[in-house]
Amino acid sequence: MTEKEKMLSGALYNAGDLELVWERDRAKALCEKLNVLPSGDGPARERVLSQLFGHTGGNIVVNSVFWCDYGYNIRVGDDFYVNHNCVILDCMPVTFGDNVMIGPNCGFYTASHPMDAERRRAGWEYAAPITVGSDVWFGGGVTVLPGVTIGDGAVIGAGSVVTRNIPPHVLAAGNPCRPVRPITQEDGTIQFPRESKT
C-alpha cells in the first residue's frame, strides 16, 4: 500500500513521501496562480479552480488568499462562495453541497497527528473526511476539524470550532460548536434596523 493509499484510507501515513510532496507542491503552485489573478477575472479563476479541485459545480467564487494541500480531494457544488483567507487541508475528501457560503478566515482541516511526539517527529499523520451539506453558511473565523459532517441548511456562528457533527437546519456556535436553536421560518423575516439620519 502506498503512502497516498494509506492517507486516503484514514490509516497512518508518512507525509514526507515523495509522491505526496510532489502533489502538495503542484497544489501550492495552482494556489499561487489563483492568488495573483485579478479578483474580477472570474473565467481565469474558474479555470485554475477546475485544475485544482476534484470537482467543481457552476458559479464558483474563491477569493484570495486561498490555500489547500492537494486540491483533488475538494469537491464543491453549484453556487459556492469563499471569502478571503481560507485554508483547506484536504488529505481526505472535503465535500461541499450547493449554495455554500464561507466567511473570511475559515479553515477546514482533515489532517491530524499522533499524540506522541516520537511519531510526530517521524512525519506520521492521519486524516478523516469533512462533509458539508447544501445551503450552509459559515461565519468568519470558523474552524472545522477532521471527521465532521454538517447538515443541510445549518448556520455556523463566527469564531466557532466545529469538533463534532452538526445536524441540519440549526444555528450552531461556540467552542466547541454546539446547536443553539433550530432555524425557523421566522428567521426569514428578520430585518436589520436602519440608522436614523439625525
Return the percent helix, strand and coil in the chain, to nearest 5: 25, 30, 45
Residue 55 is a catalytic residue: no
DSSP string, 63-123: PSSEEES-STTEEE-SSEEE-SSEEEE-SS-EEE-SSEEE-TT-EEE-EE--SSHHHHHTT
| CA–CA distance, 153 with 174 (Å, rounded to integer) | 18
State the Rg of the chain over Cα.
18
Please pick, among 55, 84, 113, 169, the residue that the annotation labels catalytic.
113
Residue 82 carries which side chain, given as an amino acid letter? Answer: V
Closest CA to 108 of 76, 77, 135: 76
Residues carrying an active site annotation: 113
